[in-house]
Structure 1
Amino acid sequence: MKIKMNQRKSGVILSYISQMIHILSGLIYTPIMLRLLGQSEYGLYQLVYSTVSYLSLLSFGFTASYMRFYSRAKASKDEGEVGRLNGMFITIFMIMAIVCLFCGMVMVANIESIFAEGLTANEYSIAKILMTLMVVNLALTFPNSVFDAFSSAHERFFFQKLLVVLQNLMNPFLALPLLLLGYGSVAMVSVTTFLTVAKLTTNIWFSIKKLQVKVVFNGFHFHLLKEMWVFTFFIFLNQIIDQINWNVGKFLLGRLSGTAAVAIFGLGTQINSMYLQLSTSISNVFVPRVNQIVATTNDNRELTKLFAKVGRIQFIVLSLVLSGFIFFGKEFMIFWGGEGYGNSYYVVLLLIIPVTVPLIQNLGVEIQRAKNMHKARSMAYLFMAAINIFISIPLINTLGSVGAAVGTCFSLVAGNIVFMNWYYQAKIGIDIVYFWKEIAKFVPGFILPIVTGIAFNYLFEMNSLLEIAGLVLIYAMVFGASMYLFSMNEEERQIVKGPLRRIIKKRDGRR
């Protein structure tokens, strides 16, 4: 038990380290990569990547079902059953990999039809190479995901997260020298594919030699496939929705506006992806608590208080980043991305402002799943994602990359904010009025940061990244102090005081 607890703690720590490395490497490596590639080739890379990523839907959400069925087979204490389950999952995902390769090669052969007149002859030549490599890389991720699931099932989180950390570290270090030598986006994808092969090889070795995973390729219980499909269907719908919301804009821009517009939109979505990562680490800690409440008392008042408590903590973190980006983001995007990426600022705002609401409410997703009431959310999001496609086309024709962001913004507001807040109140039993009253208590804490942000924009020209970084640091200190003094409750203040007390005690102990 102690070993498993240590594995969980190590896994959590490495997960945070991995996120930090991913964000920092993006902030440091991306501007170098943008200047070495140029806007056109970066846009081409983003366009091909967003198109190939739709093939990931071939997993149909089955990866998420392994843990459920493994736990059930393990509980029966039948090692043969566990082996057959492992064999069936490996077989299924190998078939998926083969189908992915076949579909990908069809896409490569018909690449001119996919992108219509959006690319030049030279861009089509590079796009074919990129697409071929990306398809191979994606096909390898299917069996890779099964061996990742084996590590999770055996609670070997340290090994699993260590691989992710190494992958995030090695990617820019291996790609950058090749970019400097002039190999372009092909080198980037080649490095990614090489690392995927290395990860798959390591995963297979670890599963066989260290975990001694039993695999049996006969005697499958095919009736399990139907049960798995029922379990994963709405997870599959969510995957479709994510693909539409975050990638369809790039595809439509590629067909209608060209690679430069894709590059501007793609850089904005990269910042958005970093923003999305900030919220999940906090809410994930409370998932067991949600399931415990639903399983024992199903007390909606208790769930509402927990929902608001977590939402307030997430709001503090996200509102700091959001407000800081509003005040300093435009100059940052120009210095970070380059002169041609000024419109990426508006793309980012149109994405992160509406997505902030579902992010501070993402514990509600776990409440829905615990109550088995998550189907309506998936169907509503699917409908709004389809609307996103239809309204984005005319908007792209008039506003380019910003138009694609407006379409996604509309989808997020209508589905993730309006519908979901009604659904929480009317169907789930969460007191959403109480939630927003709790969030509204932060208003006094915003007065000083807003005044500071406006003053900084009026007084300083922000002529370098170093100057922007200094102003952001001061702004963050003002924001934190103002929230602590005027908006945080006593429990939130204790969260801040706890680490400070430990630091002071350690310092005093050394004297």
Structure 2
Amino acid sequence: MSQLKKGAILNYITIFLTNIIGLLMTPFILNHLGKSEYGIYITIGALVGTISLLDFGLNNTVVRFVAKYKAEKDRIGLENFLATTMLLYGIISTLVVIFGMVFYGYIDSYFTQMTSAELEIAKVIFIILIFNLAIGLPGGALTGICNGYEAFVFPKTLNIIRYVLRSLTVVAILSFGGKAIALVIVESIFNILVIASTAYFVFKKLKVKIKLHQLSGKFVKHIFSYSTWIFVFALVSLFQWKSGHWVLGRIATPEVLTIYGIGIVLGSYYGAFSTAISSVFLPRATQMSVRNASGEELTSMMIKIGRLSFIILMYILVAFVFFGKQFVQLWVGAELGEQGSYETWLIALMIMVAYTLPLVQGFGNSILEAKNKLSFKAILYLTFMFIGTVAGAFLARSYGAIGMISGSISGWLIVQNVMNFYYHNVIGLNIPRFFKGLLNKTIIVVLAVVFISFFINLIPGSGWINFVIKGVTYTLTYGVLIYFFGMVNFEKDLFKNSFSAIFSRIT
């Protein structure tokens, strides 16, 4: 099996482990840290994640240039590029430390709703995470080198081992009374071990050499010209997922930060399930764009990929509408309380609803990339993510975490509607046909499942057994109805072939 196929399989394993272990670990960590310290833990992590933008998109740039020089068999060019990049990372790590030191001096005045004890915890966590980031950014370039060499198996396997061992270590430490500071120390230790292991693989196994042959300002400019739009999309992601932590960290208590943070985590899991399905088809779709496929051909592929995502997303979304409140209450209700659980459910639900259209139209981004038209989307997203954050900050003063997410997702919704006009009028996609094809047969099934789910939710009971009974009943109902009445032949064949492959391996 090729490195590419093995890498894809390991990617799905990573997604599965991240989601499942994450769901299991969240209530465990929350229970041992408490609402206040957990809120500090995730908020400081989000703030330090903001400083990671100083990477300027270099990590992805490493992959591209390493692959380019390797394909051209330009050993000197590769050595010089890597040496230049490491010098840049040295400067970036220094900037990370400087920015960290500056912000450290404002922690007391920024987090106005924290007690003195909570501020001390925040400061220690901040210092450790800044150190983590300063070594982690250049360390990430080593993984980029592996990907540029198409040596996917080692870094992805290492990441899985790290995730599992880190989770087991966290359980052990918390069980023996450890707190948030202990968790970030554990993260730092694993970070150092992974960087050291990856460095050994890169330099000893791949035989990569780093040597500065010539330091050229023009070459540095060329590197950053490629990474600029990657950096802009990193800014977009920052406003989309982390801006709420900045705002609420200023005006809300750590308990509110916990509710918001867990809602964000649940909402982000939603997209992972869709991406795991649709990403299989994206390389083929990108090839169509490169060979100048017609707008109608691209629309047909967009419908095919979008329907697969839509079927998965509607299964999750409808289930979360009817059974999500019960799940959140059982999952973290003991720590958050009834009102906190409700707000967490509502935040996650709002994200899922707003995130659905961008996910089912994920193929559109591949088309933009292939046609080199990402700039419009990047600027549009950045503008409205910023406006959404400002609106969220205004609403958060009156409505807390719910107000913050309401403002944020308003930006998402506006952007995606504008993008549909852009796809139709500039890119040449037939958007009316896309929606007609997307909803063909599936919308009737979804509405029927919504009706039936109302009655499934009336099954008396409140514990985990009751939740599982509802979940199994709902899954069987959705599965049977969507297969026989909601799927087209391609989707049925894909479903049957997937199960046949699994069964053949078992037998």
Q: Supply the distance in 2 between the matched residues of 1:13 and 1:150 (Cα, whole angstroms).
A: 20
Aligned ranges 1:335-414 → 2 under 5 Å: 335-338=330-333, 339=337, 340-414=340-414
How many residues are treated as equivalent by the alignment?
501
Q: Supply the distance in 2 between the matched residues of 1:93 and 1:30 (Cα, whole angstroms).
A: 33
Amino acid at match of 1:397: R
TM-score, length basis structure 2 = 0.95
Percent identical pairs in the alignment equals 28
Q: Is the 8 A contact 2:70 2:149 kept in 1?
A: no
Q: CA deviation at 1:71?
A: 3.2
Q: Is the 8 A contact 1:351 1:408 kept in 2?
A: no
Q: Which residue in 1 is equivalent to 2:494?
A: 495
Q: Which residue in 1 is equivalent to 2:36?
A: 40
Q: Which residue in 2 is equivalent to 1:300?
A: 295
Specify the SS of the correspondent of 1:343: helix
Q: Supply the distance in 1 between the matched residues of 2:382 and 2:447 (Cα, whole angstroms).
A: 38
Q: Supply the distance in 1 between the matched residues of 2:342 and 2:325 (Cα, whole angstroms).
A: 7
Q: Supply the distance in 1 between the matched residues of 2:142 and 2:274 (Cα, whole angstroms).
A: 27
Amino acid at match of 2:109: S
1:215-269 deviation digits (Å, cap 9, x = unpaired): 1034133312212222221211111111112111122112112111111000001
Q: Supply the distance in 2 between the matched residues of 1:453 and 1:504 (Cα, whole angstroms).
A: 30
Amino acid at match of 2:341: Y
Q: Supply the distance in 2 between the matched residues of 1:174 and 1:329 (Cα, whole angstroms).
A: 30
Q: Which residue in 2 is equivalent to 1:251?
A: 246
Q: Is the 8 A contact 1:101 1:136 kept in 2?
A: yes
Aligned ranges 1:134-145 → 2 under 5 Å: 134-145=129-140
Specify the SS of the correspondent of 1:342: helix
Amino acid at match of 1:354: A
Q: CA deviation at 1:78?
A: 2.7
Q: Supply the distance in 2 between the matched residues of 1:145 and 1:501 (Cα, whole angstroms).
A: 38
Aligned ranges 1:439-458 → 2 under 5 Å: 439-441=438-440, 442-458=442-458
Specify the SS of the correspondent of 1:38: helix
1:66-89 deviation digits (Å, cap 9, x = unpaired): 233223323443311211111111
Aligned ranges 1:85-484 → 2 under 5 Å: 85-115=81-111, 117-338=112-333, 339=337, 340-415=340-415, 417-441=416-440, 442-461=442-461, 463-484=462-483
Q: CA deviation at 1:447?
A: 3.5
Q: Which residue in 1 is equivalent to 2:53?
A: 57
Q: Supply the distance in 2 between the matched residues of 1:503 and 1:177 (Cα, whole angstroms).
A: 35
Q: Supply the distance in 1 between the matched residues of 2:502 and 2:213 (Cα, whole angstroms).
A: 58
1:85-111 deviation digits (Å, cap 9, x = unpaired): 111112211221221122112222221
Q: Supply the distance in 2 between the matched residues of 1:484 and 1:201 (Cα, whole angstroms).
A: 48
Q: Is the 8 A contact 1:85 1:220 kept in 2?
A: no
Q: Is the 8 A contact 1:343 1:402 kept in 2?
A: yes
Q: Which residue in 2 is equivalent to 1:70?
A: 66
Q: Supply the distance in 2 between the matched residues of 1:101 and 1:23 (Cα, whole angstroms).
A: 32
Q: Supply the distance in 2 between the matched residues of 1:498 and 1:289 (Cα, whole angstroms).
A: 19
Q: Supply the distance in 2 between the matched residues of 1:469 and 1:192 (Cα, whole angstroms).
A: 34
Q: Supply the distance in 1 between the matched residues of 2:426 and 2:272 (Cα, whole angstroms).
A: 28
Q: Which residue in 2 is equivalent to 1:30?
A: 26
Residue 499 and residue 239 in structure 1: after superposition, are their counterparts in 2 closer, same or farther (change >3 A)? closer
Specify the SS of the correspondent of 2:2: helix
Q: Supply the distance in 2 between the matched residues of 1:328 and 1:439 (Cα, whole angstroms).
A: 25
Aligned mate of 1:82, from 75, 78, 81: 78
Q: CA deviation at 1:504?
A: 6.2
Specify the SS of the correspondent of 1:458: coil
Q: Is the 8 A contact 2:66 2:149 kept in 1?
A: no
1:434-464 deviation digits (Å, cap 9, x = unpaired): 1110122211212332122101222323x22
Amino acid at match of 2:385: A
Q: Supply the distance in 2 between the matched residues of 1:60 and 1:506 (Cα, whole angstroms).
A: 44
With 465-474 and 9-18 compared, the bigger mean Cα shift is at 465-474
Residue 505 and residue 261 in structure 1: after superposition, are their counterparts in 2 closer, same or farther (change >3 A)? closer
Q: Supply the distance in 2 between the matched residues of 1:72 and 1:34 (Cα, whole angstroms).
A: 45
Which residues of structure 2 form unaligned runs of 5+? none
Q: Supply the distance in 1 between the matched residues of 2:29 and 2:256 (Cα, whole angstroms).
A: 17
Amino acid at match of 2:359: L
Amino acid at match of 2:494: I
Q: Is the 8 A contact 2:395 2:403 kept in 1?
A: yes
Q: Supply the distance in 2 between the matched residues of 1:331 and 1:502 (Cα, whole angstroms).
A: 35
Q: Supply the distance in 2 between the matched residues of 1:276 and 1:104 (Cα, whole angstroms).
A: 31
Amino acid at match of 1:274: Y
Q: Supply the distance in 2 between the matched residues of 1:235 and 1:491 (Cα, whole angstroms).
A: 35
Which residues of structure 1 form unaligned runs of 5+? none
Q: Supply the distance in 1 between the matched residues of 2:210 and 2:501 (Cα, whole angstroms).
A: 48
Q: Supply the distance in 2 between the matched residues of 1:261 and 1:43 (Cα, whole angstroms).
A: 7
Q: Is the 8 A contact 1:94 1:142 kept in 2?
A: no
Amino acid at match of 1:65: T
Amino acid at match of 1:263: T
1:171-208 deviation digits (Å, cap 9, x = unpaired): 22111221122221111111111111010000111111
Q: Supply the distance in 2 between the matched residues of 1:438 and 1:137 (Cα, whole angstroms).
A: 47
Q: Is the 8 A contact 2:100 2:130 kept in 1?
A: yes
Q: Supply the distance in 1 between the matched residues of 2:265 and 2:393 (Cα, whole angstroms).
A: 22
Q: CA deviation at 1:503?
A: 5.8
Q: Is the 8 A contact 1:388 1:411 kept in 2?
A: yes
Q: Supply the distance in 2 between the matched residues of 1:200 and 1:68 (Cα, whole angstroms).
A: 20
With 68-77 and 339-348 compared, the bigger mean Cα shift is at 68-77
Amino acid at match of 1:492: E
Q: Is the 8 A contact 2:229 2:375 kept in 1?
A: yes
Q: Supply the distance in 2 between the matched residues of 1:83 and 1:408 (Cα, whole angstroms).
A: 43
Q: Is the 8 A contact 2:65 2:148 kept in 1?
A: no
Q: CA deviation at 1:420?
A: 1.2
- Please give the root-mean-square deviation of Cα atoms over the aligned residues, in Å: 1.6
Q: Is the 8 A contact 1:234 1:375 kept in 2?
A: yes
Q: Is the 8 A contact 1:448 1:478 kept in 2?
A: no
Q: Is the 8 A contact 1:70 1:82 kept in 2?
A: yes
**In the alignment, is residue 13 of structure 1 matched against residue 9 of structure 2?**
yes
Q: CA deviation at 1:394?
A: 2.3
